[in-house]
C-alpha cells in the first residue's frame, strides 16, 4: 500500500513526487509513467524557455507560479549543474496596431513584478541586430534550460528520497475501495491512499477514471518548429517574440536560442488529430471523435476561425511560416530554416468554448487532478509541486488501510 501515487512522469508529476518526498520523508511514494523515459511528451518537446511571467493575468496561478518558478528553476539548475542561461528576451511590435498591446504588456509586466524596460528600435538592434521593429520591451529574467535534464534530476532526487519510479507502467483503470484506490496498470495493481493525476494530455481521462468531472476536455494543439541552419544562427542572439494576440492563448511564432546553441523558430498551433500526434498525418479515431463531438470545440472554432485558418496554412506552407518569421527578422529566407521537432500542448477547453486560461488543479476524494498545466508549467513546475503538497492530506490524515 502506497501513501501517494503520482500518475505521469512529466515535469509536473516528477516535481510533485519530489515535493511530497521532501515534505513527508517517511511516506511511501511511487511515480507511474507509461513511456520508457521521463519527460517523453510535453516536457521533452517544448521550447525550453524559462518564462518570466509577463503575459499572465495578475493574481492568477500562472502569474504567481511563473514569476516564482523562474527564480526557483534557475536556482535548481545552478544547484544541480543543469545547463541553463538567463539571457533575457525582447518582445517587439512590428505593426502600428500592435503598439497599444505592447504598452499593455509592459504595464502587465510591471503589475506582475517583472523587471521590464521599454526599448527603442535602435536599442532592440543593439541586442538583436537583425530585428526590424517599431518598438520593443526587454524582459530581463527570461532564460533557457534543458527541461529533460531538469526532469531527470527530479526523478533521481525522488529515488534518493526513497520514492519508487516505475517506467513503462500505464494506468488503465482506477478502482475505488472504501479507504484507498487501486490503480490497475499493465504492470499490476498499485493500491494507494492518495492519487495525484499529472497525466498531461490524458489528465481529463484519468480524472474521469477517478470519478472526478474536471468540467473541461483536453484538446491537443500541435506546435511545429523549424530550426535555423547552423550558418544562420548568427541572426538570433537571445529570444525574439512578437506581441501576442490577446484573444489567442499561444504566443505566436518566435525565435528561441536553445541551450545547445541551436535556434528554433515556432511553434505554431494546430489542432492535432491525435493526443500524442507529433506528425501531421497522425490520427487516432477516439481522440478525433472526442474533439469533433465536443460542443466546446465548435464554439472555439467559430470564434477563432481566422486565426485557426492562418495556423493551418502556416502548418502546410513553409512560405507562410517563413513570412511570419520575416515580420521579426526580414532577412530570414526559406532556405535558412529546416523542419525540426513538434510538441503537442494539452489545453483544457470548457463546454462553452472558452479555453481554461489558468492552471487548473481539481480536488477529488483523497486525490488531486492537475487538469490544465500548459505553458508556463515547465517553468513553474517547482511551484506547482509545492502547491500540490499544500492541497493533499498529510500521511496521518489519510485514511487507514482497512480494505485488505
Ligand atoms: C510546443 C510546446 C512548447 C512549450 N514551451 C514551453 C516553454 O518554453 N516553457 C514552459 O515553461 N513551458 C512550455 N510548454 C509547456 C510545458 O512543456 C508543459 O506545460 C509541461 O511540460 C507540462 O508537464 P506535465 O508533466 O503536466 O505533462 P507531460 O510532460 O505531458 O507529462 C505527462 C505524462 O503523463 C504520462 N501519462 C499519461 N497518461 C498516463 C497513464 N495512463 N499512465 C501513466 N502515465 C501516463 C505521459 O506519458 C506523460 O509523460 C510548452 C509546451 C509545448 C507542447
Sheet holding 188-192, edge to edge: 171-176, 181-185, 188-192
Distance CA 45, CA 33 (A): 17
106 CA to centre of ligand 1 in angstroms: 29
Cell of 123: 536599442
Q: Which of 332, 231, 320, 265 is nearest to 47 (CA)?
A: 265
Is the CB of residue 197 less than 8 Å from the CB of residue 206?
Answer: yes
DSSP-assigned letters across all residues of 47-95 = --EE--STTSPTTSHHHHHHHHHHHHHHHHHHHHT--EE---EEEEE-S
Residue 13 in contact with ligand 1 by CB distance below 6 A: yes
Q: Whose CA is nearest to atom 38 of ligand 1?
A: 199
24 CA to centre of ligand 1 in angstroms: 25
Alpha-carbon distances of 150 from 79, 92, 230, 308, rounded to whole Å: 11, 30, 26, 33
Q: Whose CA is nearest to atom 27 of ligand 1?
A: 200
Percentage of the chain exceeding pLDDT 90: 91
98 CA to centre of ligand 1 in angstroms: 31
Residue 378 in contact with ligand 1 by CB distance below 6 A: yes
38 CA to centre of ligand 1 in angstroms: 10
Which pLDDT tens digit goes with each residue over 202-231?
Answer: 999 999 999 999 999 999 999 999 999 999
Distance CA 106, CA 309 (A): 29
Q: Which of 268, 241, 239 is nearest to 342 (CA)?
A: 268
Distance CA 344, CA 204 (A): 15
Which pLDDT tens digit goes with each residue over 365-389?
Answer: 899 999 999 999 999 999 999 999 9
Residue 252, pLDDT score: 82
Alpha-carbon distances of 373 from 46, 52, 208, rounded to whole Å: 13, 16, 17
Average pLDDT over residues 176-180: 94
- Beta strands 195-197 and 263-266: pairing type? unpaired
Q: What is the DSSP letter of 329?
A: -
Nearest atom, ligand 1, residue 266 CA: 1
Q: What is the DSSP letter of 371?
A: E
Q: Which of 7, 15, 9, 26 is nearest to 394 (CA)?
A: 26
Which pLDDT tens digit goes with each residue over 183-193?
Answer: 999 999 999 99
Q: Is 279 exposed, middle or buried (0-12, 13-18, 19+ CB in 10 A)?
A: exposed
Provide CB contacts within 8 A for 288, sequence distance 6+. 273, 274
3-class SS of residue 247: coil
166 CA to centre of ligand 1 in angstroms: 17
Residue 210 in contact with ligand 1 by CB distance below 6 A: no
Give one word for 42, left, alpha or beta, with left for phi > 0 and alpha for psi -120 to 50. alpha
User: Residue 403 — pLDDT band, cuts 50, 70, 90?
Assistant: very low
Average pLDDT over residues 360-368: 95
Instruction: Judge whether residue 121 has pLDDT over 60.
Output: yes
Average pLDDT over residues 236-259: 89
Ligand 1: which of 6, 7, 8, 286 to mutate, most ligand atoms within 8 Å of CB?
A: 8
Q: Within 10 A of 260 (CB to CB), how many other CB atoms are there?
A: 9
Q: Is 167 exposed, middle or buried (0-12, 13-18, 19+ CB in 10 A)?
A: middle
Residue 237, pLDDT score: 97
Q: Within 10 A of 289 (CB to CB), how many other CB atoms are there?
A: 10
Which pLDDT tens digit goes with each residue over 4-60?
Answer: 999 999 999 999 999 999 999 999 999 999 999 999 999 999 999 999 999 999 999
Cell of 337: 530554416
41 CA to centre of ligand 1 in angstroms: 5
Residue 401, pLDDT score: 58
The dihedral sign for the CA sequence 70, 75, 77, 83: positive
Which pLDDT tens digit goes with each residue over 45-102?
Answer: 999 999 999 999 999 999 999 999 999 999 999 999 999 999 999 999 999 999 999 9
Residue 102 in contact with ligand 1 by CB distance below 6 A: no
Helix axes 11-23, 147-160, angle to 10 degrees: 30
129 CA to centre of ligand 1 in angstroms: 34
Residue 381 in contact with ligand 1 by CB distance below 6 A: no
Distance CA 287, CA 274 (A): 5
Residue 402, pLDDT score: 52
User: Residue 249 — pLDDT band, cuts 50, 70, 90?
Assistant: low
154 CA to centre of ligand 1 in angstroms: 15
Percentage of the chain exceeding pLDDT 70: 99
Residue 12 in contact with ligand 1 by CB distance below 6 A: yes
**364 membership: H or E segment, kind and range:** strand 360-364
What average pLDDT does the structure give for the chain?
Answer: 95
| Half-sphere exposure (Cβ direction) of 45: Cα atoms closer than 13 Å | 24
Residue 378, pLDDT score: 98
Residue 7 in contact with ligand 1 by CB distance below 6 A: yes
- Angle, CA 61 vertex, CA 90 and CA 263 arms, to 5°: 30
Residue 404, pLDDT score: 41
**Size (the chain), residues:** 404
Is the CB of residue 185 less than 8 Å from the CB of residue 7?
Answer: no
Residue 110, pLDDT score: 97
Distance CA 297, CA 98 (A): 28
Helices (H), 270-363: 285-292, 295-303, 305-316, 318-326
Residue 327 in contact with ligand 1 by CB distance below 6 A: no
Instruction: Judge whether residue 312 has pLDDT over 90.
Output: no
Amino acid at each position: 500500500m502506497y501513501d501517494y501515487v503520482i500518475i505521469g512522469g512529466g515535469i509536473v508529476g516528477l516535481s510533485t513526487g519530489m515535493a511530497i518526498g521532501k515534505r513527508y520523508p517517511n511516506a511511501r511514494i511511487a511515480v507511474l509513467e507509461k513511456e520508457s523515459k521521463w519527460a517523453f511528451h510535453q516536457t521533452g518537446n517544448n521550447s525550453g524557455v524559462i518564462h518570466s511571467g509577463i503575459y499572465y493575468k495578475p493574481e492568477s496561478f500562472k502569474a504567481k507560479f511563473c514569476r516564482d518558478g523562474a527564480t526557483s528553476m534557475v536556482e535548481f539548475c545552478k544547484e544541480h549543474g543543469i545547463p541553463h542561461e538567463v539571457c533575457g528576451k525582447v518582445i517587439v511590435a512590428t505593426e502600428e496596431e500592435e503598439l497599444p498591446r505592447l504598452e499593455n504588456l509592459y504595464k502587465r509586466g510591471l503589475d506582475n513584478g517583472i523587471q521590464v524596460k521599454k526599448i527603442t528600435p535602435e536599442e532592440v538592434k543593439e541586442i538583436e541586430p537583425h530585428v526590424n521593429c517599431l518598438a520593443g520591451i526587454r524582459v530581463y529574467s527570461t532564460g533557457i534550460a534543458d527541461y529533460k535534464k531538469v526532469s531527470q534530476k527530479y526523478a533521481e532526487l525522488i529515488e534518493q528520497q526513497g520514492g519508487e519510479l516505475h517506467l513503462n507502467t500505464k494506468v488503465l483503470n482506477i478502482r475505488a475501495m472504501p479507504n484507498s484506490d487501486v490503480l490497475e496498470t499493465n504492470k499490476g495493481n498499485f493500491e494507494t491512499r492518495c492519487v495525484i493525476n499529472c497525466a498531461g494530455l490524458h489528465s481529463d481521462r484519468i480524472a474521469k477514471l477517478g470519478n472526478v468531472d474536471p468540467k473541461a476536455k483536453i484538446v491537443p494543439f500541435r506546435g511545429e518548429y523549424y530550426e535555423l541552419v547552423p550558418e544562420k544562427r548568427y541572426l538570433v542572439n537571445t529570444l525574439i517574440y512578437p506581441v501576442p494576440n490577446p484573444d489567442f492563448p499561444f504566443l505566436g511564432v518566435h525565435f528561441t536560442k536553445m541551450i545547445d546553441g541551436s535556434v528554433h523558430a515556432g511553434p505554431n498551433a494546430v489542432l492535432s488529430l491525435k493526443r500524442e500526434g507529433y506528425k501531421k498525418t497522425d490520427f487516432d479515431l477516439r481522440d478525433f471523435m472526442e474533439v469533433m463531438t465536443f460542443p466546446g470545440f465548435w464554439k472555439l472554432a467559430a470564434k477563432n476561425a481566422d486565426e485557426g485558418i492562418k495556423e493551418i496554412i502556416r502548418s502546410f506552407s513553409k512560405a507562410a511560416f517563413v513570412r511570419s518569421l520575416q515580420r521579426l527578422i526580414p532577412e530570414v529566407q526559406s532556405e535558412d530554416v529546416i523542419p525540426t521537432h513538434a510538441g503537442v500542448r494539452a489545453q483544457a477547453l470548457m463546454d462553452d468554448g472558452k479555453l481554461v486560461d489558468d492552471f487548473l488543479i481539481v480536488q477529488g476524494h483523497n486525490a488531486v487532478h492537475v487538469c490544465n498545466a500548459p505553458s508556463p508549467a515547465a517553468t513553474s513546475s517547482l511551484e506547482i509541486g509545492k502547491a500540490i503538497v499544500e492541497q493533499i492530506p498529510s500521511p496521518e490524515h489519510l485514511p487507514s488501510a482497512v480494505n485488505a
